[in-house]
Chains A and B, each alone.
Chain A
Amino acid sequence: MASDLETATPAGGGRARASRSGVWYPRWYWPSFTAPGLIWLALFFVLPFFVVLSVAFGTVDPLFRTPLPVYQPWYWDFATFGETLSKFFVGDRIYLSPLVRTLVYVAASSLICLVIGYAVAYYAARHAGKQRGLILMLLIAPFWISYLMRIYAWQSLLQPDGYINDMVSLLGFDRVDWLAGKPVTVILGLVYGYIPFMILPLFGFLDRIDQNLLEAGRDLGASPYRTFRRVTLPLSKPGILAGLVIVSLPMFGDYYTNDLLGSESTSMYGNLLDAAVYEAGRGPEAGSLVLILIVMVMLPMAYYLRETRRSTGGT
């Protein structure tokens, strides 16, 4: 873009500080710009987590069954948290299968997203030619369509009398009850819902690869496959990792895909949490489930934040 070229002056990185020293700003001038946002984040981003801790480590009103949060950390009681945790690993382990299911579904869907997404992003970045603009627009289109509408559309297609079953019976098979808690349906729903988030970062990285590098690889005698494996793949690795993180993070907390396309037998972690939030008397448990989820997504999230900060050159 034009503005990029204009700022790419030989002065380079040092220019900002050197030339800015000539202008006097009050100390508070720039920080004051961030003040409203910081206050907002403190009130509605940091404070809620404190409340989650207080609810998780608090008790329940014996009469009204509403949560009684404990706001003094020194009075925190970890009984409910321990109980919740033990539902995963001890005794009849009623929470274990939703957890395992979540991990399996998320892994399977992310991988399918990667395989399809990589092919599509590769084609769009390298071979789209004249159709590039159109293809890009269609790749972005799902972002402007509500997730629920997209899943609802599939729910309609997968009805017993829906078009998918029409095709199935046309091919001579029996109609299938797709929505009766089939893992395949839920996994495909997740893939359908989140794959656009995989394609865009992949496209970004693949598009930036210098064509000359590929030609050099070919000139030096590498086969197309080898060039792909030794040049394209390593260069797109950050895109692959970013894409995997971006699609898997929301999947860990997804409950609506299963609500629309699955049943009890395909319920995921998000469903556990969603059920606990609304039910009377389960406040501390809901808080505990939120905390466990935070711990689960901490690692991918930390990775993603580190990479974004590196690429935007943040301080």
Chain B
Amino acid sequence: MSEATIARGQPAETGGIVHRATGWFRNPWRRPRVLQAVTYLYLAWTIVPVVIAIVFSFNSGRSRSTWQGFSMRWWYQDEFNSLWTDEALRSAMSQTFRLSVITVLIAVPLGTLFAIGVDRWRGRPAGVANFSMLFSFVIPEIILGTSLFLLFSNLLQGAVRLGTTAQVLGLVTYQMSYPFIVVRARLLSIGPEYEEAAMDLGSTPSQALRRVLIPLLGPAILASVALVFADSVDNFVTVRYLSGQAPSEPLSVKIYAAARASPTPAVNAAATVMLVATLTAIGAVWMIYRKVMGQRGDELTAITEL
């Protein structure tokens, strides 16, 4: 008999199947089978389609929905249409990496400095700065993408041409908030004491910053590098609006265009490359992270905090 029945003072003599069922239902320590089933079904539902898409990049036929045997045709063997031999896909690949790397190099320092500044600078203007950065984080991407498209094709028409430059400017605007949020969270948790101790011991503010604060922020900066890189590789809306001629279209845009026409498994291969790139970035950063911090699972916390 379950505790619940006793606690509610109900007579226990109802007996039989009904009572056993309600007792099972009321037992607070019963295993949540239904929830468990939902969770595992959900996980399968999220992961399996992607795994199937990866497997189909090795399909020997043209179809991406009917399996016709294993081959590397769409990776490199096909003379014109494989990921490796199709000039358009290859240049899209390098464009994706170029954009992501440049974006990381600009967005992470900008966002980190911004986070330090906002955290230490008290008063109204800092609040406004904080607010506008968060604003750029939550605004639907289509709004930012189309607005930047209108900016670069009208007011800044002569200064910035659509293509790599415009794409980087757009990506940085959108991605800057990742390092900002991650570094800011870390700043809130370390507090100003370490720097103050350093300065009590005679260091100048800039020494305290370089030798104490930046190393303390290391893990957060590293995590944002992974976040920004991965998110830039996957970005689609911003880079599409800001791409100029065909060579400035990265993989995501090519996948979108192909998916609407008649895609071959080469598209699956391209998507797989994107996935491997992001997972490698995340994995590499996590390894460094664990080595530096000597702790487990902090990456998860950092990402969950987002």
Q: Which of A49, A223, A259, A260 contacts B147 (CB 8 A)?
A: A49
Known contacts A4-B189, A48-B151, A116-B38; decide if A309 and B134 are in contact (CB<8 Å). yes
Q: Which of B35, B255, B303 contacts A119 (CB 8 A)?
A: B35
Listed by A's residue number, 19 A-B pairs whose Cβ atoms lie within 8 Å are A22-B196, A23-B196, A31-B121, A31-B125, A41-B173, A41-B176, A123-B35, A124-B39, A146-B274, A152-B268, A153-B53, A162-B65, A162-B66, A204-B304, A224-B4, A253-B143, A297-B140, A301-B138, A301-B139
When the two chains form their complex, are residues B275 and A146 in contact, meaning their CB atoms are under 8 A apart? Answer: yes
Chain A stretch 34-57: residues in CB contact (< 8 A) with chain B: 34-38, 40-41, 44-49, 51-52, 54-55
Chain A stretch 56-92: residues in CB contact (< 8 A) with chain B: 67, 69, 71
In the assembled complex, which residues on chain B have CB atoms less than 8 Å from the CB atom of A196? 46
Known contacts A44-B148, A223-B8, A270-B142; decide if A149 and B117 are in contact (CB<8 Å). no
Known contacts A120-B38, A144-B278; decide if A67 and B271 are in contact (CB<8 Å). no
Chain A stretch 164-196: residues in CB contact (< 8 A) with chain B: 192, 195-196
Q: Confirm or deny: B150 has a beta carbon within 8 angstroms of a beta carbon on chain A.
A: yes
Q: Confirm or deny: B245 has a beta carbon within 8 angstroms of a beta carbon on chain A.
A: no
Q: Confirm or deny: B114 has a beta carbon within 8 angstroms of a beta carbon on chain A.
A: yes
When the two chains form their complex, are residues B134 and A308 in contact, meaning their CB atoms are under 8 A apart? Answer: yes
CB-based A-B contact count at 8 angstroms: 314
In the assembled complex, which residues on chain B have CB atoms less than 8 Å from the CB atom of A146? 233-234, 236, 252, 255, 271, 274-275, 278
Q: How far is the CA of A36 from the CA of B42 in the complex (A)?
A: 43
Q: Confirm or deny: B122 has a beta carbon within 8 angstroms of a beta carbon on chain A.
A: yes
When the two chains form their complex, are residues B47 and A138 in contact, meaning their CB atoms are under 8 A apart? Answer: yes
Q: Mark contacts of A139-169 with chain B using CB atoms, 8 A cut-off: 1 yes-contact digit, 0 otherwise.
A: 1111111111111111111010111000000
Q: How far is the CA of A156 from the CA of B169 in the complex (A)?
A: 34
Q: How far is the CA of A252 from the CA of B140 in the complex (A)?
A: 8
Q: Confirm or deny: B300 has a beta carbon within 8 angstroms of a beta carbon on chain A.
A: yes
Q: Confirm or deny: B101 has a beta carbon within 8 angstroms of a beta carbon on chain A.
A: no
Q: Confirm or deny: B288 has a beta carbon within 8 angstroms of a beta carbon on chain A.
A: no
Chain B: minimal CB distance from A102 (Å): 12
Q: Confirm or deny: B135 has a beta carbon within 8 angstroms of a beta carbon on chain A.
A: yes
Q: How far is the CA of A309 from the CA of B117 in the complex (A)?
A: 16
Chain A: minimal CB distance from B279 (Å): 6
When the two chains form their complex, are residues A45 and B136 in contact, meaning their CB atoms are under 8 A apart? Answer: yes
Chain A: minimal CB distance from B125 (Å): 7
Chain B contributes a number of interface residues (CB within 8 A of A) equal to 112
In the assembled complex, which residues on chain A have CB atoms less than 8 Å from the CB atom of B170? 44
Q: Confirm or deny: A304 has a beta carbon within 8 angstroms of a beta carbon on chain B.
A: yes
Q: Confirm or deny: A212 has a beta carbon within 8 angstroms of a beta carbon on chain B.
A: no
Q: How far is the CA of A153 from the CA of B54 in the complex (A)?
A: 9
Q: Which of A29, A127, A133, A150 contacts B32 (CB 8 A)?
A: A127
Q: How far is the CA of A156 from the CA of B57 in the complex (A)?
A: 12
Closest residue of chain B to A138, judged by CB?
B43
When the two chains form their complex, are residues A223 and B26 in contact, meaning their CB atoms are under 8 A apart? Answer: yes
Chain A: minimal CB distance from B228 (Å): 13
Q: Mark contacts of A13-24 with chain B using CB atoms, 8 A cut-off: 1 yes-contact digit, 0 otherwise.
A: 001110110110
In the assembled complex, which residues on chain B have CB atoms less than 8 Å from the CB atom of A218? 3-4, 7, 28
20 new A-B contacts, CB < 8 A, other than A31-B117, A200-B306, A277-B149, are A2-B295, A3-B189, A3-B190, A7-B193, A29-B205, A30-B120, A37-B129, A40-B172, A40-B173, A44-B173, A119-B39, A127-B31, A140-B303, A146-B252, A156-B53, A161-B65, A192-B46, A196-B46, A305-B135, A314-B131
In the assembled complex, which residues on chain A have CB atoms less than 8 Å from the CB atom of B39? 119-120, 123-124, 128, 135
Chain B: minimal CB distance from A293 (Å): 6
Q: Confirm or deny: B14 has a beta carbon within 8 angstroms of a beta carbon on chain A.
A: no
Chain A: minimal CB distance from B49 (Å): 4
Q: How far is the CA of A67 from the CA of B234 in the complex (A)?
A: 31
When the two chains form their complex, are residues B113 and A34 in contact, meaning their CB atoms are under 8 A apart? Answer: yes
Q: B-side binding surface: helix, strand, loop or mixed?
A: helix
Q: Confirm or deny: B207 has a beta carbon within 8 angstroms of a beta carbon on chain A.
A: no
Q: Confirm or deny: A256 has a beta carbon within 8 angstroms of a beta carbon on chain B.
A: yes
Interface residues of chain A, those whose CB is within 8 Å of chain B, are 1-4, 7, 9, 15-17, 19-20, 22-23, 25, 29-38, 40-41, 44-49, 51-52, 54-55, 67, 69, 71, 116, 119-120, 122-124, 126-128, 133, 135-157, 159, 161-163, 192, 195-196, 200, 203-204, 218, 221, 223-224, 246, 249-250, 252-256, 259-260, 270, 273-274, 277, 283, 286-287, 290, 293-294, 297, 301, 304-305, 308-309, 312-315
Q: Which of A45, A133, A149 contacts B173 (CB 8 A)?
A: A45
Known contacts A277-B241, A308-B134; decide if A253 and B140 are in contact (CB<8 Å). yes
Closest residue of chain A to B46, judged by CB?
A142
When the two chains form their complex, are residues B114 and A33 in contact, meaning their CB atoms are under 8 A apart? Answer: yes
Closest residue of chain B to A115, judged by CB?
B38
Q: Confirm or deny: B93 has a beta carbon within 8 angstroms of a beta carbon on chain A.
A: no
In the assembled complex, which residues on chain A have CB atoms less than 8 Å from the CB atom of B28? 218, 224
Q: How far is the CA of A289 from the CA of B222 in the complex (A)?
A: 39
Q: Confirm or deny: B260 has a beta carbon within 8 angstroms of a beta carbon on chain A.
A: yes
In the assembled complex, which residues on chain A have CB atoms less than 8 Å from the CB atom of B271? 146, 148-149, 152
Q: How far is the CA of A196 from the CA of B234 in the complex (A)?
A: 15
Chain A: minimal CB distance from B245 (Å): 15
Known contacts A48-B148, A221-B8; decide if A144 and B282 are in contact (CB<8 Å). yes
Q: How far is the CA of A19 from the CA of B123 in the complex (A)?
A: 17
In the assembled complex, which residues on chain B have CB atoms less than 8 Å from the CB atom of A155? 259
